[in-house]
A = this chain, B = another copy of it.
Amino acid sequence: MNTEQSFSYRYPHPAVATDCVIFGFDGANLKVLLIQRGIEPFKGSWAFPGGFLRPDETAEACALRELKEETNLSAAYVEQFYTFTDPSRDPRERVITIAHFALCKIQDVQGGDDANKAQWFSMDNIPHLAFDHDYILRVALSKLREQIHFRPIGFELLPKKFTMKELQLLYEAILDVRFDRANFAKKMLHFNLLTKLDESVWPTAKREAHLYSFNEDSYNELKKKGFKLEF
């Protein structure tokens, strides 16, 4: 480090913010929660919830706080994925943003939306976003796709109990692929991450389907040994 400059750092400090790309899953499509901006710049445009870093909080704490303030979500899984530093990405002054993605069970957020004009959008129907948020979204999705190979974070998007079909639709939506029904189930059950419950449901019609839940203990076991989810 060029330590002479450390104390007498003569350049103006940029503002530092965090943004939160919130993913959800409605049973068929991957969704993103957006907020409509009330003031300039980009008034009326949709954007990710976010805000400025306070003196005593980490980026993650900031992201969680903004999440709570703007969407009433609290316990979602949050992970920092990239910091965007283009000098002209904010027209007012220089703002760098530490971007996070959050995964949440979509049913939790139904309700307290109206105040902030928050709304879920399907990934294939996203409006043009404020600032460089279009770009940020693309990066977020590609990082989510990478991460899903190392941790079963997909489960954060599902309710506690879910059918094999729902799980498959989720992975298909995230990775934008199609799987063979039978083989997907076999592969998933191999990992020993799922607990087959005694309950079952009639999801849409026709036949009943078993319910599964995610087994956190098995996951912690697997983590120690190291493992990879392959798709």
**Residues in chain A within 8 A of chain B (CB atoms):** 1-7, 9, 11-17, 19, 35, 37-39, 47-60, 66, 69-70, 80, 82-83, 85-87, 92, 94-96, 98, 146, 149-150, 228, 230
Contact B15 A13 (CB under 8 A): yes
Between-chain CB contacts (< 8 Å), 12 pairs: A1-B50, A2-B51, A3-B37, A5-B52, A6-B52, A13-B14, A14-B53, A16-B16, A53-B85, A80-B82, A80-B83, A228-B230
Contact A70 B2 (CB under 8 A): yes
The 8 closest A-B pairs by CB, nearest first: A13-B13, A59-B85, A2-B51, A83-B83, A3-B39, A58-B85, A1-B50, A83-B98
As for how many copies of this chain the complex holds, the number is 2
Cα A6 to Cα B16 in complex, Å, equals 11
Contact A1 B17 (CB under 8 A): yes
Contact A1 B87 (CB under 8 A): no
Known A-B contacts A3-B39, A47-B1; A52 and B83 likewise in contact (beta carbons under 8 Å): no
Contacts of A230 in B (CB 8 A): 228, 230
Contact A14 B11 (CB under 8 A): no
Cα A87 to Cα B16 in complex, Å, equals 13
